[in-house]
Amino acid sequence: MEARVAERRAIEMQLAALENAWNRHDAAAFAAVFAEDADFVNVFGMPARGRKAIQEFHAPIFATMFRDSRLSLVEKRVRFLGAEVAAVDARWEMTGARDPQGNAWPKRRGLLSFVATRGSEWRFDVAHNMELPPTDDMADAQRDVQARGRSPN
C-alpha cells in the first residue's frame, strides 16, 4: 500500500509540473511530462504525436492566445490499472485566455484524461483534453438525469 502512495505522489508531481509549465508558458517543460511517443488531443480535437510535436504545438499558443492564461488543476484522480499503468483525470480551470479570434475568454473549465506509464519515471502516454460546459449547464443536466432516472445517452 505504501508503494501505491509513492506512485500516486510521483504521478501527481508530473501533474504539478504540467500545471507549472503551463503557467510559465514554457512549451518545452510542458511537453517534458509526456512520453517520447505520446499522443495528445486538445479541446478542439487537434492531435499531436510525440513529445517534440506536443512542444511545437503548444509553443505558438503559449505566445498568443494563452500567453496571459492561468491554469489550475482543481481535482485529480489516479486509478492504477496495473503496476506500471494508470488512468489519470485532472479537472482544470483557466482564466486569462483569449479565443482564436483574440477576444477575452471567460473562465474556462475542462477535463484532461491521461494514460500514464512507468518506465524510469512516470510519463503521460495519452492525453485527451476536453472543455466542460458552464457549471450551471452541468447542474441542469444532472437534475435532468436524476429526474428521468437514466443517463442522457
User: Are 90 and 112 within 8 A, CB to CB?
Assistant: yes
Q: What is the pLDDT of residues 81-110, one digit of tens each?
A: 999 999 999 999 999 999 889 999 999 999
Full-model pTM? 0.85
pLDDT at 153 over 90: no
Query: For the chain, how many structural domains are there in total?
Result: 1
> Residue 26, SS3?
coil
In a domain, 30, yes or no: yes
Give CA–CA dist 134/78, Å, rounded.
24
Mean pLDDT estimate for the chain: 91
In a domain, 74, yes or no: yes
Q: What is the pLDDT of residues 116-147, one digit of tens each?
A: 999 999 999 999 999 998 765 545 555 555 66
In a domain, 90, yes or no: yes
Quick one: pLDDT at residue 100?
84
In a domain, 57, yes or no: yes
The CATH number covering residue 69 comes to 3.10.450.50
What is the domain range of residue 20? 2-148
Per-residue exposure over 53-92, b if at least 16 CB sit within 10 Å of its own CB, e if not:
bbbebbbebbeebbeebebebeebebebeeeeebebebeb
In a domain, 153, yes or no: no
Give CA–CA dist 125/133, Å, rounded.
26
The mean pLDDT value for 40-58 works out to: 97
User: Are 85 and 75 within 8 A, CB to CB?
Assistant: no
